[in-house]
Amino acid sequence: MTMMFAPLDFDHREECSDLYRAARLEMLHDRLANRLDRVESAADEVVKAAAVLVDVTHSNATEAFEDAIRSNSSAAFLHLDAGQTLGM
């Protein structure tokens, strides 16, 4: 019968604990790197979604405002050219 594992040598406990700590640190480092990659990917998706939301909201608000001006002649004074502000 062959032994699959060498018996623990309690005289080398310190070496074993150093190896364990090094292995655990490497595992935690890998997990952290993986988690940071996932967070970065999720942040990129949020930025893309926010840009789409801004585009959709801006275009709908602009279209609604222009439609209101066309349908109501008294609102024509609200027309602003590019670069103009209300100046409140």
| pLDDT tens column, 62-76 | 777 677 667 665 555
Both tokens of residue 69?
A: 């001006």
More confident residue, 50 or 16: 50
48-53: long-range contacts at Cβ-Cβ below 8 A with a sequence spacing of 24 or more?
none
Confidence check: pLDDT of 17 > 80: yes
How many beta carbons lie within 10 A of that of residue 62, not counting itself?
Answer: 10
Q: Which of 3-7, 59-63, 72-76, 77-81 has the highest mean predicted lDDT (pLDDT)?
A: 59-63
pLDDT digits (tens, 9 = 90+) for 22-59: 999 999 999 999 999 999 999 999 998 888 888 777 77
